[in-house]
Amino acid sequence: MRMETTVKVTPRLGKVLKERGMTQVKLSELTGIAQGNISRFDKLESHKDTHTVLISRALGISIEDLFEIELGQTEENHQS
């Protein structure tokens, strides 16, 4: 048996915006990203690299701070 690392990534943009009292519309104005794209980002439907960078810079946080990242391990059972 070998251990396999699992990664679960969940956007936390909504939480960050709420903490700052900021709306998706305001973030859209700051970044030039359409509000619909920001909504899809927060729903884990779409993460364009350029959007991720623009959002993190507009908010003054690291890219990693835009996500909750959970690392885990599962056993992988291979039969020969």
Q: What is the pLDDT of residues 27-44, one digit of tens each?
A: 999 999 999 999 988 887
For helices 35-42 and 13-20, the axis angle rounded to 10 degrees is 120
Domain 2-76 has CATH 1.10.260.40: yes
pLDDT in tens, 30-79: 999 999 999 988 887 667 889 999 999 999 999 999 999 888 877 766 55
Q: Which helix (H) or strand (E) is 67 found in, with range? A: strand 67-76
pLDDT recorded at residue 73: 77
Measured CA to CA, the distance from residue 7 to residue 65 in angstroms comes to 16
List for the chain the helix, strand, coil content (%; round to 5). 50, 25, 25
All residues at 6 or more sequence positions from 57 whose CB lies less than 8 Å from its CB, including other chains: none
Residue ranges per domain, the chain? Answer: 2-76
